[in-house]
Chain A
């Protein structure tokens, strides 16, 4: 009896970190957990695609042509007689990679840039944000095309190039958040305790600004996936026979009346991914928002 009480107290004193709290809250959110599971399955499938795909990704059967779903081809075939399921599996590798890598790049640059500008303020802020304004004003396509012309066609570079352009909005959101946060008492307390600026930004400002950042991130990922399709169409991204969800959708849309399955299945896959991302993002925002929680 007594021992139990003591353990309880010990546990209570140990306390839980922000992240542990968040994880507990996230687990309670069923939609978010579903989203997380779906995404994990997607990533696993993408990693294992070369072993589980039913056909070779460039195998054509011109005599077969476009056929609706059947026992041999569960999701049908395109005009080259290529298996749609295989195309979607391989496309997922590219799309997920573009989505995650480009968004991570955007996140890293944007959050750091915005946090520094917002926290330091004054002239530094003015210069940093004017730079963002200038980059905003640059026609975005021309910027990416220039990057590709200078560095050549390279898949990883494409990811980085998209990320390097997508960080601008992220930086603005972060700056706004940080500006309002730094007026608050806990930041002033941290300053008066003599914590170095980098620690304040890392430990106090960024975690508290995560909500909007996460929401914006979940919006960026689909945007980036579609952007990749657009660039590929222009000849700057992936080239046949490689493919991506965005490309499958844009070509499927051209023939949606004749071969609807070429649009429906890649479209469904992308939709499910985006839903999962949004649910997870929503869940994460709620879980990380200290003010919104009741504990």
Chain B
């Protein structure tokens, strides 16, 4: 009896000790192969044909696999569902040969018919795919079907030759065409599952619930607790399962970047994608910093509504663009977490020569404003600068507001709106000046193509016949890459001369990554590939070093 009681006491005490030793998420995750991922906001959906935001994209990339994958270190393309592909002679048709081992998470094979059905679904106007113009329009008749000009989905240039051969006809030959097949927006979805839980074109239906879900990615949906976490586990049927190191990922929705950073520091997260700017200098000063930085293809800008006077005057727009001291802004307000950038195609675009006609020049700005009829800012109408509610946007707006006041002596009001209201205002052109960003890929077209006069994301009223002709005709008739680059540079110059928007800065990756986590490098596409992610089982969680620790280390 006494022995029994002692045993109980011993077990209880050791249990308590184990608890108080306090293994945190990072250490437990390292041991169990579970990645704890700080993912911004609660994902609205995981449906690759409905999603647009990056939290949704981060999650969907684990659950679905498109035809082609990309190496996160080099951004080079590598096999996804397709094990190889080939172009025809004039590069207008691509044939994809699917990996016969590719399986859905319920064991069904992934077939060419799955892709045909999925893309017809994605382009169906009823599902309201918001990025179709950017990711699908290179496929023949995709645009016509998406805009309702033709009703027959079979007219889209996608054909299943047999179960594992997919032929895609392109609208025009493009040296960068393959890149688009790497986006999660072009991933296949499981027809039987979707049809069992609603109409194929329902934007939201129960097929995305963990009990119903079927996907083809390296992971499959395990558990989804609203506002708490989304858990994914290994897909046992994934064709390349031997190269997947992780056993699962826990995506935590944490809206506040301050909170997320604190959780990272206390060992609750392996990675935080967006630490607050004010913390960056301290992280840089750490001797073994978990901060990963590097430029990627994204541009932050202020759109100007060319229908609202005085912004219908090109001199006014140019004057406002020239009076922003981007270098100071990037250095002081944003702690060098961005690259000051005055053109639309972002810093670091490979093989591309940038145009910098909008660099800071307050003298020229004042002269242009005077020529436009507002010498010294006199009589300049009150304009409002809108941004969507977020600390970073507010800081930039406050600094820019003061720069316009200082250099041009004009008063601009600032106003913020919640994201959905904001997008609605922009779609209705209900703004004077509004902040926006565009994150795309390592070819200039992913930026410049969107600014044609009919572009869905061109909400400025910019319409230039020569620009449209270069993008829609000249470029499509020019398959040579160098010649294309020349054309893009000409188009960008026209664009910047008209100044429908003011580029402010190019984005940089700034993520916190635990030392135990390998395979999430900064890359120009800001792209994740979970297949490459490896956790070191024995590594301890990273510890914040106080300046005293640093001194000791130095001694």
Give residues in A with beta carbon < 8 Å to B. 58, 60, 62-63, 65, 79-81, 153, 233-235, 239-241, 251, 254-255, 257-259
Contacts and interface: CB of A to CB of B under 8 A. Distances in A.
Given A234-B389, A254-B278, A241 B398 contact: yes
B332 A235 contact: no
A219 B160 CA distance: 71
B545 interface: no
B401 interface: yes
Nearest to B282: A258
B360 to A, nearest CB: 12
B413 A239 contact: yes
Contacts of A153: 415
A150 B113 CA distance: 52
Contacts of B416: 234-235, 239
B148 to A, nearest CB: 33
A58 B397 CA distance: 13
B389 A258 contact: no
Given A239-B413, A239-B415, A258 B397 contact: no
Interface in B227-259: 258
A103 B329 CA distance: 40
B399 A60 contact: yes
| Nearest 4 pairs of A and B residues by beta carbon | A235-B416, A62-B332, A255-B278, A60-B402
25 contacts: A58-B402, A58-B405, A60-B398, A62-B325, A63-B328, A79-B395, A80-B332, A80-B333, A80-B402, A81-B332, A153-B415, A233-B389, A234-B418, A235-B389, A235-B417, A240-B394, A240-B398, A240-B401, A240-B414, A241-B398, A241-B401, A241-B402, A241-B414, A257-B279, A259-B278
Contacts of B398: 60, 80, 240-241
Contacts of A241: 398, 401-402, 414
B281 to A, nearest CB: 8
Contacts of B325: 62
A79 B281 CA distance: 13
B391 interface: yes
A62 B415 contact: no
Contacts of A258: 278-279, 281-282
A199 to B, nearest CB: 49
A239 B394 CA distance: 10
B276 interface: yes
Given A60-B399, A240-B397, A259-B278, A79 B414 contact: no
A62 B329 contact: yes
Contacts of B417: 235
Interface in B382-415: 389, 391, 394-395, 397-399, 401-402, 405, 413-415
Interface of B: 258, 276, 278-279, 281-282, 325, 328-329, 332-333, 389, 391, 394-395, 397-399, 401-402, 405, 413-418
Given A80-B332, A235-B418, A251-B391, 4 more contacts: A62-B329, A80-B399, A234-B416, A258-B279
Most buried by A among B282, B332, B389, B395: B332
A63 B330 CA distance: 11
Contacts of B329: 62
Contacts of B415: 153, 235, 239
B399 A62 contact: yes
B79 to A, nearest CB: 45
B279 to A, nearest CB: 7
Contacts of A65: 332
B389 A254 contact: no
Contact of A63 (B278, B332, B389, B413): B332
A257 to B, nearest CB: 8
Contact of A239 (B279, B281, B414, B418): B414
B531 to A, nearest CB: 36
A240 B416 CA distance: 10
Nearest to A61: B332
A62 B282 contact: no
A60 B26 CA distance: 42
A79 B414 CA distance: 18
B432 to A, nearest CB: 14
Contacts of A62: 325, 328-329, 332-333, 399
B307 to A, nearest CB: 21
Most buried by A among B281, B329, B395, B402: B402
A79 B397 contact: no
Nearest to B256: A254
Contacts of B328: 62-63
Contacts of A251: 391
A239 B395 CA distance: 12
Contacts of A240: 394, 397-398, 401, 414
A47 to B, nearest CB: 24
Contacts of B278: 79, 254-255, 258-259
A235 B414 CA distance: 9
A259 B389 CA distance: 22
Nearest to B325: A62
A78 to B, nearest CB: 10
A254 B418 contact: no
B338 to A, nearest CB: 14
A38 to B, nearest CB: 31
A160 B258 CA distance: 33
Given A235-B389, A235-B418, A240-B397, A254 B258 contact: yes
B395 to A, nearest CB: 7
B333 to A, nearest CB: 6
Contacts of B389: 233-235
Contacts of A58: 402, 405
Contacts of A79: 278, 332-333, 395
Nearest to B279: A258
A117 B124 CA distance: 60
Contacts of A80: 332-333, 395, 398-399, 402
A254 B279 CA distance: 10
Nearest to A257: B279
Contacts of A60: 398-399, 402
